[in-house]
Amino acid sequence: MEKKLAEYKCDTNEAICLKLGSEVAFGYKGLQIQLFYTAGNLSTLFKVKYSSKVNDTFDCVEADNVEGKIREIIPAGFTCNSDDFVSLLEKEANFKPFGTMLHSYTVHNEEGEQLTYQIHKAEISCPGFQEYHERLQTFLMWFIETASFLEVDDDRWDFFLVFEKYNKDGETLYATVGYMTVYNYYVYPDKTRPRVSQMLILPPFQGEGHGAQLLEAVHRFYCGLPKVQDITAEDPSENYVKLRDYVLTKLCQNLPSFDADKLHLGFSADMIKEAQEKLKINKKHARRVYEILRLRATDMSDEEKARAYRLEVKKRLFGPYRKNQRELAKMRKCLRPEELVSHMGQLDTQAQQEELEKSYQLALEDYRRVLERLASQA
């Protein structure tokens, strides 16, 4: 389905207008599915429009139940009446962000205006929040493939919300920008491990740094909780990993154990300990941060220093290939020759070397992108 956020905070009605019009649906001509959300409370207007529709009486076929499919996604409480929706728009001034504000920051837009944003932490017990969250998570279905709704009737869920704070006609209003959900897993004997489950910045706000602001605010929140072991993510996307690399490197670059003069000595136990104790970063993520910061501290035009860095990174990347070699050694002992031959192609040394070099170059590309972003923010 082609999913586009056609309008946000329209000049006439302060609403999100979401048009879904390219899904293959049988039985309609000129089909348009429109969802309008108020910018703050996300009150919803749902409309289905079409110029003609097949009829089972005259055409002997039945059109797809498009409206029914959408109704399965959007929660109860939406309206199909434009006048009713306008009355909901007029109540937007009464909407206030849920929960406790953790962080506030400003961004300058292309016109040079200073825009103010707030990050709040909310719990499902906040009055009205559960209904708001049901409307909020519908955006996952419009913008993220394979997304699914959460079962949030569990007090171990934490919710972090980003809002734009702005003035209109002398009133202070708030617009929903994005959010993150985190589940607090138990770690024996008395710790918890917050795991990021979902994260979404709405398309009109993407590319403005809100994801980094949100992830950093969440990390800083959990860093202040002694019971937290470390922070992880559930099945992170490639874009999330890149965002996390940037945020964690930004946080770690001022830690004493990550000083430039210590980076060339290799990844150390002090780095692991300090990253975990002060920033709730686990060993695996701390290692990536070390490689990024060591790249910044390495003169890659110096052949000897570049080679030392390359070997250091490849030593980590070689882990899966080393595992393959151990498996091959076991196979030699227990497989018949004809069976062993069928597995040799998967473990070809030359192919492994080529894959290792490819993985190194991709890592280098990602690391340089992080360093460029850090330099631009300095």
Same domain, 75 and 102: no
Based on the fold, state whether residues 107 and 227 are members of the same structural domain: yes
CATH number at residue 118: 3.40.630.30
- Domain containing 59: what range? 28-92
Pair 240, 371 in one domain: yes
Give catalytic residue positions: 234
Q: Which of 92, 110, 127 is the last residue of a domain?
A: 92
- Under DSSP, the state recorded for 88 is H
- Of 188, 220, 235, the residue at which a domain comes to its end is 235
Instruction: Round to whole Å and give the CA distance between 308 and 263.
Output: 12
The sign of the CA dihedral 211, 213, 214, 219 is: positive
Q: Do 246 and 330 share a domain, yes or no? A: yes
Q: Indicate whether 268 belongs to any domain.
A: yes
Instruction: DSSP letter for 302, please.
Output: S
**How many whole angstroms separate alpha carbon 221 and alpha carbon 215?**
10
Same domain, 121 and 74: no
| Distance, CA of 185 to CA of 153 (rounded, Å) | 15
All residues at 6 or more sequence positions from 292 whose CB lies less than 8 Å from its CB, including other chains: 245, 249, 367, 370, 371
Give yes or no for a contact between 181 and 198, defined as CB atoms under 8 angstroms apart: yes
In this structure, is the dihedral angle defined by the CA atoms of residues 201, 203, 206 and 210, taken in order, positive or negative? negative
Same domain, 283 and 301: yes
Per-residue model confidence as pLDDT tens digits over 107-149: 988 788 899 999 999 999 999 999 999 999 999 999 887 788 9
3 state SS for 257-292: HHCHHHHCCCCCHHHHHHHHHHHCCCHHHHHHHHHH
User: Identity (one letter) of the amino acid at 373?
Assistant: R
**Residue 347 domain-assigned (yes or no):** no
Q: How many residues does the structure list for the chain?
A: 378
In 3D space, the residue among 49, 17, 45, 44 whose CA is nearest the CA of residue 33 turns out to be 49
DSSP sequence for 169-193: TTEEEEEEEEEEEEEEEEETTTEEE
pLDDT (tens place) for every residue of the chain, 378 residues total: 232 233 333 333 346 555 554 557 788 888 888 999 999 999 999 999 988 888 766 667 788 888 898 999 999 999 999 999 999 999 999 999 999 999 999 998 878 889 999 999 999 999 999 999 999 999 999 988 778 898 888 889 999 999 999 998 899 999 999 999 999 999 999 999 999 999 999 999 999 999 999 999 999 999 999 999 999 999 999 999 999 999 999 999 999 999 999 999 999 999 999 999 999 999 999 999 999 999 999 999 999 999 999 999 999 998 765 555 555 555 555 656 655 555 555 556 677 788 889 999 999 999 999 999 999 987
How many domains does the chain divide into? 3
Residue 15: predicted pLDDT: 61
In a domain, 3, yes or no: no
Give the per-residue pLDDT at 71.
Answer: 92
List strands edge to edge, sheet with 15-20.
Answer: 4-7, 15-20, 32-38, 44-49
Residues 210 and 320 in one domain: no
Judgement on whether residues 205 and 246 belong to the same structural domain of the protein: no
Residues 100, 125, single domain; the answer is: yes
Does the residue 17 lie in any domain?
no
Is 87 found in the same domain as 55? yes
* pLDDT score for 23: 56
Helix, strand, coil share of the chain (percent; to 5) = 45, 25, 35
Task: Please check whether residue 352 lies inside any domain of the structure.
Answer: no
Give domain status of residue 183, yes or no: yes
Contact between 123 and 83 under an 8 Å Cβ cutoff? The reply is: no
* Global confidence as pTM: 0.87
Cis peptide upstream of residue 194 (ω within 30 degrees of 0): no
Do 371 and 319 share a domain, yes or no?
Answer: yes
Which CATH number do you get for residue 253?
Answer: 1.10.10.390
Q: In b/e form, how buried is each residue of 250-271, taking b as 16+ CB within 10 angstroms? A: bbbeebebbeeebbeeebeeeb
Helix (H) or strand (E) holding 237: none
DSSP 228: B
CA atoms within 13 A on the CB side of 106: 6
Which single residue is written with the structure tokens 């490197």? 249
Residue 348: per-residue pLDDT: 64
- In DSSP terms, which residues pair with 229 in a beta bridge? none
Do 214 and 269 lie in one domain? The reply is: no
Any idea of the CA torsion for 357, 361, 364, 368, to the nearest 10 degrees?
170
Q: State residue 201 phi and psi, 5-degree precision.
A: -110, 125
Nearest C-alpha neighbor of 258 from the set 276, 272, 273, 271: 271
Asked, for residue 128, whether it belongs to a domain, the answer is: yes
**CA-based angle 312:318:319, to the nearest 5?**
110
Distance of CA 109 to the CA centre of its chain: 22
9 assigned to some structural domain:
no
The last residue of a domain, from among 67, 92, 117: 92
Measured between alpha carbons, how far is 79 from 175 in angstroms, rounded to an integer? Answer: 20
Q: Which helix (H) or strand (E) holds 44?
A: strand 44-49
